[in-house]
Amino acid sequence: MLIDPERCRCCGDCLALCPMNAIRLFAPDRAAGRPAHAAIDRDECVECGVCFRSAVCPQQAIREEDLPWPRILRKAFSDPVFTHPGTDIPGRGTEEMKTNDVTGRFRPGFIGLGLEFGRPGIGTRLRETEAAIRRLLPLGVVLEPNNPLTQLIADPATGALRPEVRDEKVLSAIVEALVPEEAFDRILAEVRAIAAEADTVISVGVIGKVAADGRVPAAEAMRRAGLPPSANGKVNVGLGRPLYPF
């Protein structure tokens, strides 16, 4: 995103709209013949498009750009109306995190794990996700192949991202993985260690089946790890296409 300094009147109406606080106001520079104006910090901007779509600027000074690679990734991971070319849906992850009972992707004996790095006001550099992926792969996780982040991995054996994308800043990025049930305790322990070292915030999402005896193994493992499930968790009964055998 750019702000046209010739149009901008430095009213400040756009400041509150930026979820990354990336818009700055500058005093007039008489020596350079430059009036007071607003400008977008290019390094902090995640190309979410909120300032532009809001139409808050009375001078229509905010405009979109044709973004080159790899900066276009900022928009792909941050703009909620941008359709990601690798998934054909908007958003930073796949539909599996909400529709597994319809697709049957997560079978008994396995647990779905989603780690969302960043959020509005903080964001994340993609290198933060790379560090986590490198630590989780040796523990037996299987990354979701259709996830937009997985598609940026240059070396599937190590989880190394393509070098040119590591420093791109996005609103958030999600690591989606399949975890064998018996490995989930140590995976969660590693997640806690990753979160303690990360230079951003991490939200943990878990998909777990209800066992035949009524237990929820994923929830039990979360409690053992000191990560009790949220009371606002979703329950999908799979009425669209029941695949659970019990």
Q: Which domains does the chain possess?
A: 1-65 (3.30.70.20), 84-224 (3.30.70)
> CA-CA distance, 200 to 124, in Å (whole number)?
6
DSSP state of 139: G
| List of residues 6+ apart from 213 with CB closer than 8 A | none
Closest to 219 (Cα-Cα) out of 237, 232, 206, 202: 206
Q: Please, is 76 exposed, middle or buried when counting C-beta atoms within 10 Å of its C-beta (0-12, 13-18, 19+)? A: buried
Q: Which residues pair with 39 in a beta bridge?
A: 24
Per-residue pLDDT of the chain (246 residues; tens, 9 = 90+): 999 988 999 999 999 999 999 999 998 888 777 789 999 999 999 999 999 999 999 999 999 999 999 999 999 999 988 888 777 777 777 766 655 556 667 777 889 899 999 998 999 999 999 999 999 999 999 999 989 999 999 999 999 999 999 999 999 999 999 999 999 999 999 999 999 999 999 999 888 888 888 888 889 999 999 888 887 777 666 655 555 454
- Local structure of 118: helix, strand or coil: coil
Tell me the pTM: 0.88
Q: What residues pair up with 2 in beta bridges, in sequence order?
A: 63
